Amino acid sequence: MTDSTAPRTALVTGGSGGIGRAVVTRLVDDGLAVGVHYAGNRATAESLVEEITTAGGQAIAVGGDVADEHAVAAAFDAVESAFGGIDVVVNTAGIMVLGSIAEYDLDRFDQIVRTNLRGAFVVSQQAARRVRDGGAIINFSTSVTRTQLPRYGPYVATKAAVEGLTPILARELRGRDITVNSVAPGPTATPLFFDGNTEQTVQALTAATPLERLGRPEDIAETVSHLAGPARWVNGQTVFVNGGLA
């Protein structure tokens, strides 16, 4: 028998920093128990978990390479063991290595495909098997699939594939009341964004939106919160969260 008083539970990949951290914090504020996934920075994830639990929330840290199916299965196992099941999976984990298509190093290409595409597929596969009926799966794309900026080709290729995967999984989960969507942020003030762009590019992108600012991680987390909870009629979609960037 299901315990109706138990909190809903989420697993957030890449949850220890940037947008992932904001998503974790928002979902905890929404009353969910959260598995905070990290790839390499265990200390940061554990610090976030400590902040959450000290404030009265529920969270655990889980690690592993998102492209390793055994590591991902173990992360799902740990969250299920701690909280009794999984209702929401948010796949924010990803890397961004920019460069022109003509000059791009193929070893780097293999790396970005492994993390962003294979990783998204592996996490989605486990989510399809594990998320409880009535839950939500939320992948991450990028608004650059529309803006088509130079030097983003390899990154966009991986994210466009995730956008294609998302509605198909939504249809494959017919009958289980599980929504599957992608969130496509625009320029967002995170270390990943600042590390990958010149100051000139940052200024240009800041001015490009009608709101004339960069997005904040909290802006993206707000949309994730909606898709994870009340947005039960949004399914198989990519939601562009970019302040009106063309």
Tens digits of per-residue pLDDT, 109-121? Answer: 999 999 999 999 9
Q: Is 155 a catalytic residue?
A: yes
Contacts of 180 (CB under 8 A, 6+ apart): 124, 136, 137, 138, 139, 166, 167, 169, 170, 173, 235, 236
Interatomic CA distance for residues 121 and 164, integer angstroms:
11
Q: How high is the mean pLDDT of the chain? A: 95
pLDDT of residue 195: 79
Could you tell me the domains of the chain? 9-241 (3.40.50.720)
Interatomic CA distance for residues 27 and 25, integer angstroms:
6
Low pLDDT (below 50) residues in the chain = 1-2
Interatomic CA distance for residues 118 and 36, integer angstroms:
20
pLDDT of residue 125: 98
Residue type for position 38: Y
pLDDT of residue 3: 58
Q: Is 167 helix (H, G, I), strand (E, B) or coil?
A: helix
Whether the Cβ atoms of residue 35 and residue 115 lie closer than 8 Å to each other: no
The fraction of the chain above a pLDDT of 90, given in percent, is 89
